[in-house]
Amino acid sequence: MINLEKKLRAAGLRPTKQRLLISNYLFSGSHMHVTADSLYSELSKSGVNISLATIYNVLNIFTSHGLLREISIDSSRSYFDTNTKKHYHYYYEKTAKLEDIDIEKLQINPLPEKRNGFDVSSIDIVIRVNG
């Protein structure tokens, strides 16, 4: 838990017990995509009881401090991604799963750099798959 404490402090966050428990689930293994609901049920299964409201709060705070990236699929579904590097996604509509796509594997040509004089701040691509 020590590394996680450092990770939270480095992001400017106080390492509260709930934030550490959630961090332990999110950041101890390989990258993952979670929703608040999926995280709530996974934590409950492993005996960690944190309210859904607290999970929403922690996910949003982690996102605003750069520890997670939020991916909106539609108005009712948001995923939180532990991989904060630039990448795109496949979204499997039937299983509601996300899969990463390396940016090198998807070319946008020409890549817009400016629009009406404004810099492009980010490009999010979700390719929906019927499966």
Residues forming contacts to Zn ion in the complex (CB under 5 A) are 81, 83, 100
Q: Which two tokens stand for residue 44?
A: 């409950």
| Rg (alpha carbons) of the chain, rounded to whole number | 16
Q: Which residues pair with 98 in a beta bridge?
A: 91
The residue at minimum Cβ distance from Zn ion is 81
Nearer to Zn ion, 48 or 103 (CB): 103
Quote the least distance from Cβ 47 to Zn ion, whole Å: 27
Residue 79 CB, shortest distance to Zn ion, in Å, is 8
Rounded to 5 degrees, what angle do the CA atoms 42, 81, 50 make?
35
Is the backbone peptide bond immediately before 15 cis, with ω within 30 degrees of 0?
no
Decide whether 5 or 100 has the Cβ nearer to Zn ion: 100
Min dist. Cβ of residue 66 to Zn ion (A): 15
- Tokens read off for 28: 């101890």
3-state secondary structure of 114: strand
What is the DSSP code (8-state) at residue 112?
A: P
Residue 98 Cβ vs Zn ion, minimum distance, rounded to whole Å: 6
70 versus 100: smaller Cβ distance to Zn ion: 100
| Residue closer to Zn ion, measured from CB, 22 or 34 | 34
Q: What span, in angstroms and rounded, lies between the C-alpha atoms of 48 and 24?
A: 11
